[in-house]
Amino acid sequence: MTDRYGVLGHPIAHSKSPLIHSLFAAQTGQNITYGQLQLPINGFVSGLKQLIAEGWQGANVSLPFKTEAFGVANVLTARAQAAQAVNTLTFMNGLIYGDNTDGAGLIADLTGSLLYPLQKKRVLIIGAGGAARGVIQPLIDAGVAQLIITNRTYEKSAALAKFFQVDALALHECVNSFDLVINATSASVSGLLPDIPVSVFGPYTLAYDMFYAKEPTAFMRLAAANGARTADGLGMLVAQAAEAFFIWRGIYPATAPVLSVLRQKL
């Protein structure tokens, strides 16, 4: 019997998850199907119940449904609770299990693919939306020495910093350089830059943009021009999917070959 999974969002046509999971399944010999489904903006919960009734075993959740998925889950992992958002659902024994694999995906990409140990690092996160929220606790757990959150709307970064007991600074106050600067804003989606002083970058800085595109983003270009090493979020995308695949199938697929296929297709 073939187990059924898929990704839910609105819109969803752009999703790379079906390709990633079909490559994982082929690589590990798992008998699954993985589709994509656009649910109506106001129809997430009813759509989900129908999928469960049809026999789906799990689903990834994309924008804008991650908060609703958090609300509908009967059982939440600690990392989903910290993120207050769910991107991976498992349907088992009549219950809905919710998890969030974004933070683990970032950590796996940094430490596993980019060979960047996080212990004792000074980290700046730019952005205070859902993506930032999902990675803060995993970065703290990975042993960073300092974590500062900054955001265009300062109040949002201050609220996040208070929740996770770290510090917030206004963008213009970020004058010192950091070991790791993470762009968790959606500015790159529109080819824009967060208004950050270039002094945050130094020759030992890794500048990581969670967004990914065929060419380096404006944030990556600015960081490189100021001496930093750069990376985009494609590795995080593949690694968060690998975490979800592991939750469902109990096998952690190799991410490097899948990342290389996706990179070629950008």
Q: Which residues are catalytic?
A: 66
Rg (CA), the chain: 18
When asked if residue 161 is in the footprint of ligand NDP (CB under 6 A), the reply is no
Gap between the Cα atoms of 207 and 30, Å rounded? 36
Between CA 73 and CA 89 the distance in angstroms is: 8
Interaction between residue 51 and ligand NDP (CB under 6 A): no
Complex with ligand NDP: residue 65 or 211, whichever CB lies closer: 211
Shorter beta-carbon distance to ligand NDP: residue 3 or 18: 18
- In the complex, the smallest distance separating the C-beta of residue 100 from ligand NDP, rounded to whole angstroms, is 10
Which residues from 79-108 bind ligand NDP, rule CB under 6 A?
102, 105
| Residue 221 lies near ligand NDP (rule: CB under 6 A) | no
Token couple for 179: 């070991």
In the list 12, 161, 184, 218, the residue contacting ligand NDP (rule: CB under 6 A) is 184
Shortest spacing between CB 72 and ligand NDP, in angstroms: 19
Is residue 153 a contact residue for ligand NDP (CB under 6 A)? yes
**Does an H or E element contain 259, and which?**
helix 256-265
Helices 130-141, 154-164: inter-axial angle, 10-degree rounding: 30
Distance, in Å, from the CA atom of 115 to the CA atom of 135, rounded to the nearest integer, reads 18
Query: Any contact of residue 240 with ligand NDP (CB under 6 A)?
Result: yes
Decide: 247 and 88 in contact? Cβ < 8 Å: yes
Q: Assess contact for 173 and 146: CB atoms under 8 A.
A: no
- How many CB atoms neighbour CB 39 within 10 A? 20
Q: Does 233 bind ligand NDP (CB under 6 A)?
A: yes
The least distance separating ligand NDP from the CB of residue 61, rounded to whole angstroms, comes to 12
17 binds ligand NDP (CB under 6 A): no
Answer yes or no: are the C-beta atoms of 27 and 254 closer than 8 Å: yes
Packing angle between helix 234-249 and helix 256-265, nearest 10 degrees?
A: 130
Verify binding: residue 194, ligand NDP, rule CB under 6 A.
yes
Residues 191, 229, 235: CA angle, nearest 5 degrees: 70
User: Of the listed pieces 48-56, 74-82, 130-138, 246-254, which binds ligand NDP according to CB under 6 A?
Assistant: 130-138
Where in 131-150 is the site for ligand NDP (CB under 6 A)?
Answer: 131-132
User: At its nearest, how many Å lie between ligand NDP and the CB of residue 152?
Assistant: 3
Distance, CA of 161 to CA of 154 (rounded, Å): 11
Q: Which stretch binds ligand NDP (CB under 6 A): 7-15, 112-120, 188-196, 197-205?
A: 188-196
Binding residues vs ligand NDP (CB under 6 A): 102, 105, 127-132, 151-153, 156, 184-189, 192, 194, 210-211, 233, 236-237, 240
